[in-house]
Structure 1
């Protein structure tokens, strides 16, 4: 299990912890069910952290309950506002499962890719650093 670095400022929301590493926002996902309310609150925190600029996100996924349709729709609409790209690091199958749930009807609104290794994920995200 990854832990946030002790030498960085850590930002907390109900659904994740965040910190900066080399121009990439890193997220350690928490397991509560995503709702429109906690996604909205999380997005507000991210806009505050990023100065309201979309940034590349490296997210370490955790298992959490499947969000309802309203939460999935809201998350899909919110992604391009707060992120320029997203690299998901997880156990094999988890990120693909999440992508299938969120983007069953249409492709993701930002570049997204699944990884089982964070080194490859960071390399891929570098192209999206402003």
Structure 2
């Protein structure tokens, strides 16, 4: 799940990004422990990339340490301020695990769906552009 060679990435602390002409933001997750501080910096980066516009996100997940409760809460609260929807692409099981950790007993605040195929993820996200 590496980015195309011809696409320059915008490097971030917890993920690298590119924003394509369809209006989808692509995120290549890093195996970094998420904290309220680095999530805050990441949100500022995403807003800079998108011109402060809410966009659909296609995220390529990686294994990373489980964040603490405050970080999970903060992250969940911030999602609807930056994204219209989120498609998670990963090996089978990983995105389900992350969804269970972040949204235990709660519905996600934006439309979210797990995929093992990024073409299907992109197709699903286009309805949220």
Report TM bin, short chain: over 0.9
5 Å-filtered alignment, 1:105-124, equals: 105-124=105-124
Counterpart Cα distance in 2 of 1:8 and 1:90 = 20
CA contact (8 A) 2:19 2:49 kept: no
RMSD across aligned C-alpha pairs, in angstroms? Answer: 1.0
Q: Secondary structure at the match of 2:98?
A: helix
Unaligned runs of at least 5 residues, structure 2: none
The CA deviation string for residues 46-70 of structure 1, in whole angstroms up to 9 with x for no partner, is 0111111110000000000100001
The alignment covers a number of residue pairs equal to 128
Give 1:24-39 correspondences, 5 Å limit.
24-39=24-39
CA distance in 2, matches of 1:122, 1:8: 17
Structure 1 position 10 matched with structure 2 position 6: no
Residue 61 (str. 1) matches residue 64 (str. 2): no
3-state SS of the aligned residue for 1:125? helix
State yes or no: 1:95 paired with 2:95. yes
Output the CA distance in 1 between the equivalents of 2:46 and 2:10: 9
Residues 57-88 of structure 1, C-alpha deviation per residue, up to 9 Å, x if partnerless? 00000000100001000100110001000000
Question: How far, CA to CA, are the matches of 2:53 and 2:8 in structure 1?
Answer: 19
Please list the CA deviations of residues 91-110 of structure 1 after superposition, one character each: whole Å capped at 9, or x if unmatched.
11100110011001310000
TM-score (norm 2): 0.95
Structure 1: gaps spanning 5 or more residues: none
State the distance in 2 between where 1:88 and 1:106 align.
Answer: 18
Q: TM-score, normalised by structure 1?
A: 0.94
Q: Which runs of 4+ in 1 moved over 6 A?
A: none
